[in-house]
Amino acid sequence: MIVFGVLLVAAGVVAYLAGLGDPAGGWWLLPPGLIAAGIGIAVAGLVARVRRRLAPLRRSGEGATGGPVQRIRAVPAMIAESWRGGAGVPRYQTLLWLLAVVYLVSPIDFVPEFLPLIGVGDDIGVGAWLLSSLYAESGNYLGRRRAG
């Protein structure tokens, strides 16, 4: 994924240098779109690679279990248990999830929405992190509940 992202960024730079980035032309969104997509894919690939390398360190022996519906149903119980002092996820993790939801809902963004294709990139990144983090942690939570 990282290589594909870098190739997309390179294609966007080449398209810009070829004159497709001219606002007077009909294809002016192509270079920034390619560059934004390439950066997003490269970052996602880098995050996936880091998560794969850290996975053996994070495993506690039980393994993640549960299908998507079971994991979705487990999220409220997992968050409630962590705030009651149980063996759920750390409280800072739930605060990060809350901060991500507030960021997605709020009209204030680091990258304004009026920038084409790039403006929604930060929202897509935060949303992808939120969903993948909730999915992974709820699977770990279900595994811990079944083991003990």
Q: What is the extent of the structural domain holding 146? A: 64-148
- pLDDT for position 117: 66
* Cβ contact 118:32 at 8 Å: yes
| Cα separation, 60 vs 105, whole angstroms | 34
How many structural domains does the chain have? 2
On whether both 29 and 71 belong to a single domain, the answer is no
On whether both 89 and 44 belong to a single domain, the answer is no
pLDDT band for position 26 (cuts 50, 70, 90)? low
Residues in the chain: 148
On whether both 142 and 70 belong to a single domain, the answer is yes
- pLDDT for position 57: 56
pLDDT band for position 69 (cuts 50, 70, 90)? confident
Q: For residue 33, is it left (φ>0), alpha (ψ between -120 and 50) or beta? A: alpha
On whether both 26 and 86 belong to a single domain, the answer is no
- pLDDT for position 56: 62
pTM confidence score:
0.55
